[in-house]
Chains A and B, each alone.
Chain A
Amino acid sequence: MGAKKFPELDPIIEKYRGKKGILIPVLHEVQNRVGYLPDDIQKHISRELKVPLSKITGVISFYSFFTTEPQGDHTLGICLGTACYVKGAEDLVDEVKDQLDISEGETSADGTFTLTVTRCVGTCSLAPVLMVDNKYYGNLTPADISGILEKYQDSSQEGN
């Protein structure tokens, strides 16, 4: 059986080929491009960069930023750092779970949102904080959640 080809990853592989200590930057770039790191992509990287597959899988499972599951169109990251926790971030998590009927790490049925709970995102003065992709929403209460989700639901549908 021939191995699956990923020509779209060639530029990334070529950029790093032969350099040392580049596994994590490669995984970052591939995940940025593909969205996640499934088995066949891990095997491809392993063959191309001559890194044992066990090491690649080990690295992916160690770092929380890497994921082997497809993600929703938008990632909701609720910060559970100290300041956010003190300011009631857990109520935000409950509100999102209720509204989207998903748990942490899961993707909503329509594929719009993936819910994650993150470590401190470093915007403690805005606590509690929700990140949608790279955008920060601060000083939130559970009542703010539905308005924020609606904004992204609309744009996703337009995109479809």
Chain B
Amino acid sequence: MDNREVLICSGTGCLSSGAEEIEARFREELKNKNLVDDISVKKVVKKTGCVGPCSLGPIAIVKPEKTFYGKLDIEDVPVIVKEHLQEGKIVQELLIEEDGKKVEEYTDLNFIKGQKQIALKNIGEIDPSSIEDYLAQDGYQALEKVLTEMMGEQVIQEIKDSGLRGRGGAGYPTGLKWEFTANAESDEKYVICNADEGDPGAFMDRSIIEGDPHKVIESMTITGYAVGAERGYVYVRAEYPLAIENLGSALETARQEGYLGENILESDFSFDIEIRVGAGAFVCGEETALIKSIEGERGMPNPKPPYPAAKGLWGQPTVINNVETLSCVPEIINLGSSWFAGIGTESSKGSKVFAVAGDVRGTGLIEVPMGITIREVIFDVAGGIPDNKEFKAVQIGGPSGGTIPAQYLDLEIDYESLDEAGAIMGSGGLVVMDEDNCMVDVARFFLDFTQDESCGKCPPCRIGTKRMLEILERITSGEGEAGDIELLEELGEKIIETSLCGLGQTAPNPVLSTIRFFRDEYEAHINDKTCPAGRCTSLAEPYVIDPELCIGCTQCVDVCPVDAISGEKKEVHVIAEDICISCGACEEVCPVDAIYQRSNKEEGDKNNG
């Protein structure tokens, strides 16, 4: 066995593609062959957090060679055990092929090699349930350094010098938040880790807590030391049961081993952490609403100031940081602020985790240096758009963000550049959309979300988003009127100006940014009553059957979801145009290609002629 280890990615993506069965089969195979006993099997076959390239799951990485086996089938396991673990030969036919070449080491995968991992550094390398694994990656070293060599204000200075900014939304400098909290007068202060990752399309915080929970504990404890707090809360979404479980057991281990609780590492400093589980309210990602929720109230935001640094949880000074932000802290302490500040752009330091999803080949989590271009992320790291489709736009920053079109692909990503392009860094959700997506419909989707999640406390958000949604629904159903676009713009700007919290202040962004870049699509919906992408079904053109080609097989009748097709067996069939919703199901099943949309056919005839 030569001290080989098999790391099984057990992130949620891989679990749903069968990672547990793969893991069980490895253990079984090793035991059946008497290669290991019951005790050491746990050291040989390890479960790790999310490795990142979810579209290649289930995944096993064999160490020390770091060989990457992806898209595994249960029957591949005995082959790997025999050839690789026993005989020491890499199983060539099970390797992933990229650009015509087999990739052996996982760090050579396109998806991994373009990355600069800081927050995600340990994830996929360690077993989240093992504190030994975390310690072997220099875990808790930063905490020890802070407690033995640094004063609180030195820690804060280090974070300020690093240039670290918040990774969860607004991008506020982390060191300043800490300093304000440290300087606030009170005997009682709190640290909150915001793990209420509600932006649809973002899942990095979940991955960090699931895959490297001790890092969250270490970072919060360092924060507590720096600002003078003795108590911390992690506010996690209820939708993340595995994260809650892994963090809960890591907290217990950390207490047993003296990294948490009274007199940490035999110092004078005491700190403990409690988990609070959310209950499905998006607005609780906003810090003042989150505080209300921890206090057991309805999660409604308060006007700022006072900021939580002055008056937060139970009226006491409180520092709130997001999971990914906190996860950069130990590396900054270990390697120094100048190391961190040396990565990225003038205004945005370090790296950022993006959750890549949507119409793109390589979906999953990537951490790249600030300043990388959008094109590099989508095409070089994530492999581009599948099915020979064209890239249309990328939505960055979720319901608070914007949609960025193809002409901005070479934009270098940092807080300011995204802002100028009408999006925001936000939490780093990055949903890629191909030519089949309708931008008006995407805007409607986000407004539907924010309107539903608006807590109702302030009228601009409660009523304004509702009115915007109504207008968008009219446009997508073919009842748009002249002046609607201008009305949306005016309403949007007012809502941004006058809303109470970040939810309302950013809710119009998806609409305003799609109007900015795809105004012609809005105009097509309103003036021509057509949806250029064919997504808005009530505007889409009905299908027709060519009577000369139809053989009366009745297959189209069977699949039509709205019973729009009639005709006897072996006779010509007809589609009722007023019932047809243009879903295209009939076109797909027709064996003789007799079903078409008029405009597509004319276009095809033109091209052929």
A1-54 interface (Cβ within 8 A of B):
20-25, 27-28
- Please tell me if the beta carbons of B201 and A124 are within 8 angstroms of each other in the complex: yes
Chain A CB within 8 A of B197 CB: yes
Q: A82-B358, A86-B437 are in contact. Are A21 and B298 (CB under 8 A)?
A: no
Chain A proximity of B115: nearest CB distance (Å): 16
Q: Which residue of B lies closest to A22 (CB)?
A: B296
Q: How far is the CB of B175 from chain A (nearest CB, A)?
A: 29
Bound-complex Cα distance A136 to B296 (A): 30
The smallest C-beta distance from A18 to any residue of chain B, in angstroms, reads 13
Query: Interface size class for chain A?
Result: 35 or more
| Stretch in A55-63, A101-109, A149-157 with 4+ CB within 8 Å of B | A55-63
Q: Are the CB atoms of A86 and B359 closer together than 8 Å? A: yes
Task: Judge whether B282 is part of the interface by a CB distance below 8 angstroms.
Answer: yes
Q: Does A126 contact B (CB under 8 A)?
A: yes
**CB of B433 to closest CB in A, whole Å:** 6
User: Across the interface, do A24 and B296 meet the contact criterion of CB distance under 8 Å?
Assistant: yes
Chain B residues with Cβ under 8 A from A80's Cβ? 200
0/1 per residue, A102-144, Cβ < 8 Å to B?
0000000000000000111111111100000011111000000
Q: In the bound complex, do residue A119 and residue B431 qualify as a contact, i.e. CB atoms below 8 Å apart?
A: no
What is the CA–CA distance of A24 and B241 in the complex, to the nearest angstrom? Answer: 16
Bound-complex Cα distance A87 to B445 (A):
13
Q: Assess A119 versus B282: contact at CB under 8 Å? Given A20-B314, A126-B13, A136-B15.
A: yes
B13 in complex: contacting residue of A24, A82, A118, A138, CB < 8 Å: A138
Bound form: Cα–Cα A118–B238 in Å: 12
Q: How far is the CA of A125 from the CA of B240 in the complex (A)?
A: 16
For the complex, give the distance between the alpha carbons of A80 and B418 in Å: 25
B354 to chain A, nearest CB (A): 11
Once the chains bind, are B431 and A27 in contact (CB under 8 Å)? Answer: no
Q: What 0/1 pattern do residues 174 to 210 of B give for CB contact below 8 A with A?
A: 0000000000000000000000011111110010000
Which among A62, A64, A127 is the interface contact of B357 at CB below 8 angstroms? A127
Chain B residue numbers with a CB within 8 Å of A94 are 561
Does B279 reach chain A (CB closer than 8 Å)? yes
| Chain A residues whose C-beta falls within 8 Å of the C-beta of B206 in the assembled complex | 122
The reply to whether A85 and B445 form a contact with Cβ atoms under 8 Å apart is: yes
Asked if B64 is at the interface (CB within 8 A of a chain A CB), the reply is no
Chain A CB within 8 A of B468 CB: no
| Chain B stretch 435-464: residues in CB contact (< 8 A) with chain A | 437, 442, 445-446, 449, 453, 455
| Contacting pair A122 B238 (CB below 8 A) | no
Q: In the bound complex, do residue A24 and residue B293 qualify as a contact, i.e. CB atoms below 8 Å apart? A: yes
- B12: chain A residues at CB < 8 Å are 122-123, 136
| Known contacts A21-B296, A62-B281, A124 near B203 by CB under 8 Å | yes
CA distance A123 to B298 in the complex (A): 27
Q: Is B16 an interface residue (CB 8 A)?
A: yes
How far is it, in angstroms, between the C-alpha of A119 and the C-alpha of B279 when the chains are bound? 12
B147 CB to nearest A CB, Å: 29
- In the complex, whether A145 has a CB less than 8 A from a CB of chain B is no
**Chain A: CB-nearest residue to B240:** A122
Given contacts A123-B13, A136-B16, A138-B16, contact A28 B200 (CB under 8 A): no
CB atoms of A119 and B200 under 8 A apart = yes
* Also in contact, A83 and B357, with CB within 8 A (given A124-B203, A125-B54, A136-B16): yes
Do B279 and A122 touch (CB < 8 A)?
Answer: no
Please indicate the chain A residues that have their CB under 8 angstroms from the CB of B298 in the complex.
Answer: 58-59, 62-63
* Interface pair B281/A63, CB less than 8 Å apart: yes
Q: Which of B277, B278, B359, B364 contacts A125 (CB 8 A)?
A: B364
Whether B239 sits at the interface, judged by CB under 8 Å, is yes
A126–B277 CB distance below 8 A: no
Set of chain A residues within 8 Å of B446, measured between Cβ atoms:
82
A91's nearest neighbour on chain B, judged by CB, is B583
- B16–A123 CB distance below 8 A: yes
Flag if A124 contacts B16 (CB, 8 Å): no
- Tell me, rounded to whole Å, the shortest Cβ–Cβ distance linking B142 to chain A: 27
Contacts of A123 in B (CB 8 A): 12-13, 16, 54, 203
Q: Are A120 and B199 in contact (CB-based, < 8 A)?
A: yes
Chain B positions within 8 Å of A118 at CB level: 239
Q: Evaluate contact between A82 and B395: CB separation under 8 angstroms.
A: yes
Q: Which residue of B lies closest to A79 (CB)?
A: B200
List, in ascending order, chain B residues with CB within 8 A of A59's CB: 296-298
| Chain A residues positioned under 8 Å from B561 (CB to CB) | 94
CB of B227 within 8 Å of the partner chain: no
Bound Cα distance from A9 to B295, whole angstroms: 22
B interface with A by C-beta (< 8 Å)? 12-13, 15-17, 54-55, 197-203, 206, 237-241, 276-282, 293-299, 314, 355-359, 363-364, 395, 398, 429, 431, 433, 437, 442, 445-446, 449, 453, 455, 561
6 nearest interchain CB pairs? A81-B200, A125-B54, A124-B357, A63-B279, A125-B363, A120-B200
What are 30 inter-chain pairs, A to B, with CB distance below 8 A?
A20-B314, A24-B293, A25-B277, A28-B238, A63-B298, A64-B280, A82-B431, A82-B445, A82-B446, A83-B358, A85-B445, A119-B200, A119-B239, A120-B201, A120-B239, A122-B12, A122-B206, A123-B12, A124-B200, A124-B355, A124-B358, A124-B363, A125-B356, A125-B364, A126-B13, A126-B16, A127-B363, A134-B241, A138-B13, A138-B17
* Apart from the given pairs A28-B277, A83-B201, 18 other A-B contacts in the complex at a CB distance below 8 Å: A20-B296, A25-B276, A28-B238, A28-B279, A59-B298, A65-B238, A82-B395, A86-B437, A86-B442, A119-B198, A120-B200, A120-B239, A122-B240, A125-B55, A125-B356, A126-B54, A127-B358, A136-B12
